[in-house]
Amino acid sequence: MAYGQFEQFIRNMSRVMGAVNTKLQRDLTLRTRVARRFSMVETAQFLGVDTTYLTRISGEEPSFPAGERRGRERTFSPSEIMLIRALIGSNKAARKPYLHWRRPGEPVKVVTFGAQKGGTGKSLTAAHFAQYINLNYGLRVGVIDADPQATVSLYFADEKLPLFQHDTPTLADFMGVDDPATVSLETPDPETLNSVWQPTPWPGVRLIPGGANIQNGDISLFFMSQKAKVPVYGVLRNAIRAWDAAYPPVTTVENIRGDNGEFDHAAYARALDETVDVIVIDQQPSLTLMQLNGLIAADSVVIPQTMKGFDLATLATYVSNIGEYLEFIMGFESDIEIGGGRHMVLPTIVQEQNDQDTDQILDLYRKAPREVMQVWYSRSDAIANAAEEYKSIYEYLPPKTRRASARAFMANANAVNDALVERIMPDLPTRGYAETFIRERWN
């Protein structure tokens, strides 16, 4: 059969894009991932302490990182901030917890960011949340990219991780559904599950990258449901539970100092790598069997959503379709427990000067105050500027002309993530960012 010119077109474009990709800004970012450094003031804010206290501890703790000097300013990387957190958190004189690791016996928490429509800032929202809880609470985070386009992966991967390579394992490998010809389901063994997690330059953050074979997972799950009658909606949840059972939290904050009170760097390094405290899943903008798995596996679901009329129609379709799926699932398992945490719609890319956007939020919030958040992501030039470099606002280094918009957007991100923490992990202390945002806009 002749395929005509379309086949040649696809082959040519694959060849051209393969060559162009090595020249994109993306590759520069991957080589210089997490290059941003934070001042003593910013570091103190992440830790929830004042700079005077931090300066005093830096002189008392032999292991306190030297950081780098930029003029009169002393700056620290995210890895150095995590070490500082461990130093003060493990000190017996600490008056409050600084490392909020889950303790032995506590299950891993799963938070899924999903939406029907692309262009809502979903992947950036997921990346911001993962980085915020890492910087502000020292949480070890596992990021699962459930999108074949691997968007959220670009916010965490460096040049050591071969994204978009056919042999790079993805979520489909973690679930054991990477081969469309496989009819029977067999959860990979714990070591294989653990090997799918890839290290990132962020301290304590691991990644299961996105990639094209996630689409193979949908094909595989479909045939399993037809031929083997496998409950295909729970495959990811079962894989996470199997991995968590084999790689639970072992080290506590108290364990990273020896009997003599000296900080144990080896124990600290092991603790960062032994498990994760929270798994953040970034969904593909659709509702396929793979994406359904991400919803069923979640304790909490966040739906980032723009506020235009047409976009809200896609939200209606999304939640309606999920409802039909859940009704179908419960017909098989009437006692199944799904999503025991809080779930929410997060308004995104809001034009605050446009009364239509803010009126829409107000109307939705009045009708569903438990489901619709009072904070939102505002439309900002800083988003586009950072996205050009495949960076989140917590990594973006703006030129002088863009610093004001970047500061404003970081304040916005802090408010959104503070509100998400309050709903999703109410045991963690909030920072007041969301309260300030709401007071200023809802007065």
Backbone angles phi, psi at 112, to 5 degrees: -110, 130
* Burial tier of 267 (Cβ tally within 10 Å: 0-12, 13-18, 19+): middle
**How far does CA 365 lie from the centroid of its chain?**
25
- Neighbour order of strands in the sheet with 68-70: 38-39, 73-76, 68-70
CB 170, CB 210: distance < 8 Å? yes
pLDDT value at residue 66: 92
Distance CA 364, CA 374 (A): 10
Distance CA 133, CA 39 (A): 19
Distance CA 117, CA 148 (A): 15
pLDDT in tens, 270-321: 999 999 999 999 999 989 999 999 999 999 999 999 988 767 888 888 888 8
* Burial tier of 347 (Cβ tally within 10 Å: 0-12, 13-18, 19+): buried
The answer for residues whose C-beta is within 8 angstroms of residue 204's C-beta and 6 or more apart is 82, 134, 138, 139, 140, 141, 272, 273, 276
pLDDT in tens, 214-262: 999 999 999 888 876 778 899 999 999 999 999 999 999 999 998 888 9
Q: Are strands 205-208 and 198-199 parallel, antiparallel or unpaired?
A: antiparallel
CB 110, CB 276: distance < 8 Å? no
Distance set, CA 408 to CA 39, 283, 382, 383, 433 (Å): 17, 27, 9, 11, 12
Q: What is the CATH number of domain 99-441?
A: 3.40.50.300
For the segment 204-209, the average pLDDT, to the nearest whole number, is: 97
- pLDDT above 90 (res 119): no
Q: Which residues pair with 141 in a beta bridge?
A: 205, 278
Q: Among residues 194, 173, 285, 278, which one has the least CA distance to residue 236?
A: 173
Query: At 30, is the secondary structure helix, strand, or coil?
Result: helix
CA 332-336-340 angle, to 5 degrees, is 150
The answer for residues whose C-beta is within 8 angstroms of residue 75's C-beta and 6 or more apart is 37, 38, 39, 40, 67, 68, 69
Q: Which ranges of 297-402 would DSSP assign to H, the alpha helix? A: 309-332, 355-367, 381-388
- pLDDT above 80 (res 176): yes
pLDDT above 90 as % of the chain: 60
For the segment 34-52, the average pLDDT, to the nearest whole number, is: 91
